[in-house]
Amino acid sequence: MSVLDEIYAKAKANPQKVAFPEATNEKMMQAAYETGRDGYIIPVLLGDDQLPKLAVERGYDSSVFTFVDINDEAYRKEIIDKYVAMPDTRLKEKALNRRMADPLYYAMAMQKAGEVGVTFAGIDNTTGDVLLAAQMMIGMKPGISTISSIGLCDIPGFKGSEGSLLAIGDSAVCTNPDSEQLADIAISACETVRDLLDWEPRCAMVCYSTLGSGQGELIDKVTAALKIAQEKRPDLAIDGEFQFDAAISPEVAAKKVKRESKVAGKANVIIWPDLNVGNVGVKLIQQFGHADAYGPMLQGFNSVVCDCSRGAPVSEIKGNIIISAVRAAKMNQN
């Protein structure tokens, strides 16, 4: 069974409510419908009172969907009351009411209030729009102040500690993280792979040096981040600084890492030092390793928010919806 097959089986066993604030978008509606029809999620479409008619006109069985009319004053008042009663929310009633004219903010208010488990967007809204709304409405996990992302690579021929799979981050969001931010990314990545894949994370912080073989400010940032991450979360196996090959190859690690390490040579999570490395790294893995790369999965928020690529095909959107739903189910159990 492939990694996606396993994730799909988890989703079907415990389908989550997923809010779609961009429901009128044709690709988004199709992806929501197909994942809902096949039992992976319970799709909740946000829009006006014409949305059910639009779904039928497009040939969908409207019974698959739950429709939310954002102009329904009674339901809006119910969500507002639940939201403002929470101790950790930033918006008061009037400000929230104004924000909820936007389906993106409405969906996240529903999510914070416990009406849905995931907000899924990114085709009609920019990444910046989604991140800003999530920061304001959902909030950050305790101890984490950095929004980041992680991807999952399935690399043919790669024989790592998790077979052909390797988690990598951040390849999409945090441009030039400082040491504190880099530590946050590592901690969040460990929690993401544990929730999604049930892995015991072994997280390597990589750069162009292995345990002092090189010198420079770029290395200093990584070693400082490692110290912060280990102090914050001593329960997690986070180690470095390693070159990429020393992180994933037992043979290379045996030559380069002359101390005990739970991570060296058997890392299942790789943390890039910045977005330049991360973006180039994932492209190299895809192009030359012929890998399937799933994500990016946003991390750092109190609950799961997904920002998909605007150019993503329906098949990719569906995969990311299901991954997001499985992450949400696991977070709800914790």
pLDDT band of 110, cuts 50, 70, 90: very high
In single-letter form, the type of residue at position 203 comes to C
- Regarding whether 130 and 161 lie in a shared domain, the answer is no
- Regarding whether 67 and 43 lie in a shared domain, the answer is yes
Share of the chain above pLDDT 90, in %: 84
- Regarding whether 202 and 166 lie in a shared domain, the answer is yes
pLDDT band of 321, cuts 50, 70, 90: very high
pLDDT in tens, 200-225: 999 999 999 999 999 999 999 999 99
- Regarding whether 198 and 97 lie in a shared domain, the answer is no
- Regarding whether 205 and 322 lie in a shared domain, the answer is no
Alpha helices, DSSP H, located in 92-178: 93-99, 103-112, 127-137
Q: What is the CATH number of the domain that holds 231?
A: 3.40.50.10750
- Distance, CA of 27 to CA of 30 (rounded, Å): 5
Structural domain of residue 280, as residue ranges? 148-293
The length of the chain, given as a count of residues:
334
pLDDT score recorded for residue 331 = 84
pLDDT in tens, 159-195: 999 999 999 999 989 999 999 999 999 999 999 999 8
- Whether the per-residue pLDDT at 81 is higher than 80: the answer is yes
At 122, list the tokens: 């990114």
- Regarding whether 121 and 203 lie in a shared domain, the answer is no
Q: Are 325 and 15 within 8 A, CB to CB?
A: yes
pLDDT in tens, 1-37: 677 788 999 999 999 999 999 999 999 999 999 999 9
pTM of the shown model? 0.88
- Regarding whether 163 and 209 lie in a shared domain, the answer is yes
- Regarding whether 126 and 228 lie in a shared domain, the answer is no
- Distance, CA of 292 to CA of 4 (rounded, Å): 11
**What is the mean predicted confidence (pLDDT) over 289-297?**
86
pLDDT in tens, 119-151: 999 999 998 999 999 999 999 998 888 999 999
pLDDT score recorded for residue 2 = 72
- Regarding whether 279 and 157 lie in a shared domain, the answer is yes
pLDDT score recorded for residue 245 = 97
Total count of domains within the chain: 2
pLDDT band of 246, cuts 50, 70, 90: very high
CA distances from 151 to 9, 90, 172 (A): 20, 30, 9
Phi, psi of 241 (to 5 degrees): -80, 140
- Whether the per-residue pLDDT at 334 is higher than 70: the answer is no
- Whether the per-residue pLDDT at 240 is higher than 90: the answer is yes
- Regarding whether 171 and 131 lie in a shared domain, the answer is no
pLDDT score recorded for residue 1 = 60
Crossing angle for the helix pair 127-137 and 103-112, nearest 10 degrees? 40
- Regarding whether 129 and 35 lie in a shared domain, the answer is yes
**What is the mean predicted confidence (pLDDT) over 317-332?**
91
SS (H, E, C) 26-75: HHHHHHHHHHHHCCCEEEEEEECCCHHHHHHHCCCCHHHCEEEECCCHHH
Question: What secondary structure does DSSP assign to 198-245, as a single string?
Answer: ----EEEEESS-STTSS-SHHHHHHHHHHHHHHHH-TTSEEEEEE-HH
**What is the mean predicted confidence (pLDDT) over 96-112?**
97
Q: What is the CATH number of the domain that holds 95?
A: 3.40.50.10950
- Regarding whether 239 and 103 lie in a shared domain, the answer is no
- Whether the per-residue pLDDT at 333 is higher than 80: the answer is no
pLDDT score recorded for residue 143 = 86
- Distance, CA of 22 to CA of 28 (rounded, Å): 7
pLDDT band of 294, cuts 50, 70, 90: confident
Q: Whole-number mean pLDDT of the chain?
A: 94
**What is the mean predicted confidence (pLDDT) over 275-301?**
90
